[in-house]
Amino acid sequence: MLQCRFSILSGLFLAEVFFFFFGSAEEGLEFPNFDGKDRVLDINERNYKKAVRRFELLCLFYHEPVPNHKGLQKRLQMTELVLELTAQVLENKDIGFGMVDAQRDFKVAQKLGLVEVGSLYVFKDDRIIEFDGELSADTLVEFLLDVLEDPVEMIKNAMEIRAFERMEEDIRLIGYFKGEDSYFKAFREASEHFQPYIKFFATFDKSVAKHLSLKMNQVNFYEPFMEEPAVLPGRPLTELDIVDFVTQHRRATLRKLRAENMFETWEDDMDGIHIVAFAEEEDPDGYEFLEILKDVARDNTNNPELSIVWIDPDDFPLLTTYWEKTFNLDLFRPQIGVVNVTDADSVWLDMSNDEDLPTAEELEDWIEDVLSGRVNTEDDDGGFGDDEEEEEEEEEHQGYDREEDRGERRDQYEDED
């Protein structure tokens, strides 16, 4: 009897323990937490050669010497933690991670070809790929998985064609070749120069080629948001032909800012400025504005002077308040403006009073004013007696008049008294 009661109780107890461990938290959504295991190597003279040989990919963060300041040390530790977490998540892939100190390991850095302090470099085969994106574990994991893949993706059927055609935000190339052992080799070599930033596709399939109007050994280049591809001149093409063409055409008329290469995009400015458009694709106004921008980009795709950087604030939650403050903007609405990349000075198209968004024509007029310099970030930067600043003077007068009015009114009251 006693025995029996005991077993019932212990059974209940076990059930409770079981519930506690496995029932209270549901499985299936467990974010990785750093498990404390050290996976990031401290790269130095003795171990760097081995590290390069040992992994399929080696990912090295080239950092400034460890600072004395406690807070700054923490910042470096946070970066290291991003690498640790990335290493942990990708543990079953053949990727090595390491830190290279710009002072202590300067010689190693030189031998490896690391140039920019604060940058992350990925070694794959005999290539070095610089990561120019947001240094977060999410972005880095995605980037490294892309680099691990083959640089050319094969298109084999109608479903894959449809997926290819939907990728309108990406720069894409596609070529039609006889097989692995053909001019495909040059195409593949070319693709390695741009992996993972520019997507290369190929097909050996006649019906896929027909659907995409590709002749044998032809390569097409798709600019983001354009409906028709450009055909690379010449057939067959050498690696150099393709690399040259892509290098010349990679700055798109409308390009989306992305976490994976945001710094590269930002550094590729147009004589010190960017035309920046903020639009949330999921917001009705943002969506409409984006459609107008696409029309403008399609109309002006042959203008090499023009490139608009589209930023969807939804993609950059950590930067939204910073942008609102720096540019003095409301990012709940679509915006377009000119930003000076030297001092972040900016001017924005006034769309606040209109119920309607600007038309494509109005936007094109404004862009023309930007490209000709009539609209620029410098005119409102102060200085007295500048005759060209008519608009600003008018505003000043208005302000002055308003003050005068007030003064007069006060005088009137004084008179009445």
Ligand X SMILES: *[C@@H]1O[C@H](CO)[C@@H](O)[C@H](O)[C@H]1NC(C)=O
Structure tokens at 282: 């999921």
Stretch near ligand X under the rule CB under 6 A, chosen from 20-28, 283-291, 307-315, 339-347: 339-347
Please, what is the minimum distance in Å from the beta carbon of residue 271 to ligand X? 6
Structure tokens at 161: 């064609």
Residue from 248, 243, 261 nearest 130 by CA = 261
Q: Answer yes or no: are the C-beta atoms of 42 and 98 closer than 8 Å.
A: yes
Of 113 and 383, nearer to ligand X (C-beta) is 383
Burial of 306 by CB count in 10 Å (0-12 exposed, 13-18 middle, 19+ buried)? buried
Q: Is 305 in the site for ligand X (CB under 6 A)?
A: no
User: What is the number of residues in the chain?
Assistant: 417
Pairwise CA distance, residues 184 & 214, whole Å: 14
Q: Is 267 in the site for ligand X (CB under 6 A)?
A: no
Stretch near ligand X under the rule CB under 6 A, chosen from 113-121, 143-151, 300-308, 336-344: 336-344
Please, what is the minimum distance in Å from the beta carbon of residue 378 to ligand X? 5
Q: Is 326 in the site for ligand X (CB under 6 A)?
A: no
Residue from 275, 293, 292, 294 nearest 375 by CA = 275
Candidates 136, 238, 340, 371: give the one binding ligand X (CB under 6 A): 340
Please, what is the minimum distance in Å from the beta carbon of residue 266 to ligand X? 14
Q: Is 301 in the site for ligand X (CB under 6 A)?
A: no
Pairwise CA distance, residues 40 & 81, whole Å: 9
Please, what is the minimum distance in Å from the beta carbon of residue 123 to ligand X? 37
Q: Is 247 in the site for ligand X (CB under 6 A)?
A: no
Of 291 and 378, nearer to ligand X (C-beta) is 378
Q: Is 272 in the site for ligand X (CB under 6 A)?
A: yes
Pairwise CA distance, residues 223 & 183, whole Å: 23
Pairwise CA distance, residues 280 & 314, whole Å: 6
Within 10 angstroms of residue 6's Cβ, the number of other Cβ atoms is 10
Secondary structure, 3-state, 149-215: CCCEEECCCHHHHHHHHHCCCCCEEEEECCCCCCCHHHHHHHHHCCCCCCEEEEECCHHHHHHCCCC
Candidates 73, 342, 359, 372: give the one binding ligand X (CB under 6 A): 342
Q: Answer yes or no: are the C-beta atoms of 70 and 23 closer than 8 Å.
A: no
Q: For ligand X, how many residues bind (rule: CB under 6 A)?
A: 10
Pairwise CA distance, residues 300 & 370, whole Å: 14
Residue from 257, 313, 262 nearest 134 by CA = 262
Of 89 and 341, nearer to ligand X (C-beta) is 341
Residue from 366, 357, 315 nearest 334 by CA = 357
Beta strands in 323-410, from DSSP E residues, in sequence order: 335-340, 346-348
Residue nearest to ligand X (CB): 340
Please, what is the minimum distance in Å from the beta carbon of residue 305 to ligand X? 13
Please, what is the minimum distance in Å from the beta carbon of residue 381 to ligand X? 7
Kindly write out the interface string for residues 352-381 of this chain, putting x where it contacts ligand X by CB under 6 A and - elsewhere. ------------------------xxx---
Residue 227, CA distances (Å) to 153, 221, 253, 276, 299 in order: 21, 11, 13, 22, 11
Pairwise CA distance, residues 275 & 273, whole Å: 7
Rounded to 10 degrees, the C-alpha dihedral 149/154/157/163 comes to 50
Candidates 267, 343, 380, 392: give the one binding ligand X (CB under 6 A): 343
Of 64 and 378, nearer to ligand X (C-beta) is 378
Stretch near ligand X under the rule CB under 6 A, chosen from 103-111, 220-228, 282-290, 337-345: 337-345
Stretch near ligand X under the rule CB under 6 A, chosen from 24-32, 138-146, 230-238, 335-343: 335-343
Q: Is 220 in the site for ligand X (CB under 6 A)?
A: no
Of 14 and 344, nearer to ligand X (C-beta) is 344
Kindly write out the interface string for residues 161-180 of this chain, putting x where it contacts ligand X by CB under 6 A and - elsewhere. --------------------
Of 316 and 348, nearer to ligand X (C-beta) is 348
Stretch near ligand X under the rule CB under 6 A, chosen from 30-38, 214-222, 341-349, 382-390: 341-349
Pairwise CA distance, residues 101 & 62, whole Å: 6
Of 246 and 339, nearer to ligand X (C-beta) is 339
Please, what is the minimum distance in Å from the beta carbon of residue 371 to ligand X? 12
Of 345 and 364, nearer to ligand X (C-beta) is 345
Q: Is 195 in the site for ligand X (CB under 6 A)?
A: no
Residues that bind ligand X (CB under 6 A): 271-273, 340, 342-343, 345, 376-378
